[in-house]
C-alpha cells in the first residue's frame, strides 16, 4: 500500500473515532469520561492524514512520472473494516457476555455508609452486591432499593439482573449479576432492560462459571425500560 492509501485509511479511521465520540455511540466501547481523549485522538489522526495527502499531491518540480510505479491494489482491502466501523456499529455488551463470564467478585470495604435518602433508593448492582455479601446487608436492612439492568438467565434457569462493569473499555468488561426471587414473575426475554424495586433477600447462590457469590433481591415490582444511554456500570 502506498502512502496515499495509508493516508486515506488513517483519514477514515480518525473520522470514525470522531463520529463515535460526537454521539453516544462511543459509550458502547469506553467509559463516559474518555470522550475528550477520543475527540482529540480522532482529530489528530484526521489532521495527520490530510497533511500527508497534501504533502503527496502538492506540485513539485522534481516529481517523477506518477504512473511510473504501481503499488499492489490489494492494500486497499484494509479500507473494508474501517468502512464497516463507520456504517455498522456493534451493540454494547449484554446478556451473551453475562452468560459466558462469571459474576464480578465485589470488592470488600471496611466501612459501608448508609444508603442515600429516598424510597426506593436507586443503587448500582455492584454496590448492592458488595453491601449484601461483604456487609451482611446491614446497610440494606429495612430499605427498598431500585436496581436497573438487563435480564439474564441464572444457573438454575431463574431470572437474574445483570450489568457489565468496565474499568476502562468494553475489552475489560465483566458482568455483575443479582438474582431475582419472589414477587411478580419476570417474564420478558433475556437481554431486556428492566427496572426492579424490592428488598434485600438472604438467599445466595454460586455462579457456576467462577463460583463467586451471587446476591439476591426480593422483588416487589418491575417494569421494562428503554436501555439507558450509559449501559455499562
User: Over the stretch 17-30, which tens digit does the pLDDT of each residue have?
Assistant: 888 888 888 888 88
Mean pLDDT of the chain: 84
First-to-last alpha carbon distance for the chain, in angstroms, is 41
Does this model's pTM top 0.85? Answer: no
Region 57-83: mean pLDDT is: 62
pLDDT-above-70 percentage for the chain: 86
Distance CA 123, CA 166 (A): 17
What pLDDT was estimated at residue 57? 79
Q: pLDDT tens across 41-61, in order?
A: 989 988 998 888 888 777 766
Domains in the chain (CATH in brackets) are 3-87 (no CATH), 95-224 (2.40.50)
Q: In this predicted structure, what is the pLDDT of residue 68?
A: 47
pLDDT tens across 160-180, in order? 999 999 888 877 889 999 999
Query: Does residue 158 surpass a pLDDT of 60?
Result: yes
Mean pLDDT of 94-101: 86
194: β partners? 149, 224
Average pLDDT over residues 95-113: 79
Amino acid at each position: 500500500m502506498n502512502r496515499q492509501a495509508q493516508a486515506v485509511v488513517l483519514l477514515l479511521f480518525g473520522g470514525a473515532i470522531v463520529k463515535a465520540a460526537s454521539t453516544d455511540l462511543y459509550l458502547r466501547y469506553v467509559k463516559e469520561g474518555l470522550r475528550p481523549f477520543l475527540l482529540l485522538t480522532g482529530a489528530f489522526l484526521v489532521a495527520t492524514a490530510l497533511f500527508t495527502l497534501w504533502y503527496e499531491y502538492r506540485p513539485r518540480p522534481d516529481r517523477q512520472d506518477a504512473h511510473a510505479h504501481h503499488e499492489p491494489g490489494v492494500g486497499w482491502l484494509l479500507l473494508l473494516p474501517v468502512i464497516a466501523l463507520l456504517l455498522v456499529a456493534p451493540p454494547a455488551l449484554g446478556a451473551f457476555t453475562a452468560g459466558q463470564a462469571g459474576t464480578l467478585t465485589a470488592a470488600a470495604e471496611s466501612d459501608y455508609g448508609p444508603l442515600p435518602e429516598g424510597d426506593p433508593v436507586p443503587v448500582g448492582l455492584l454496590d448492592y452486591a458488595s453491601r449484601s455479601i461483604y456487609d451482611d446487608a446491614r446497610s440494606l436492612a429495612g430499605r427498598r432499593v431500585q436496581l436497573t439492568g438487563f435480564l439474564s438467565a441464572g444457573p438454575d434457569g431463574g431470572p437474574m439482573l445483570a450489568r457489565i462493569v468496565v474499568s476502562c473499555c468494553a475489552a475489560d468488561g465483566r458482568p455483575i449479576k443479582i438474582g431475582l426471587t419472589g414477587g411478580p414473575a419476570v417474564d420478558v426475554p433475556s437481554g431486556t432492560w428492566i427496572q426492579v424495586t424490592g428488598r434485600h433477600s438472604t438467599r445466595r447462590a454460586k455462579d457456576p462459571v467462577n463460583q463467586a457469590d451471587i446476591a439476591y433481591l426480593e422483588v416487589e415490582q418491575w417494569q421494562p425500560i428503554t436501555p439507558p444511554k450509559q449501559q455499562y456500570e
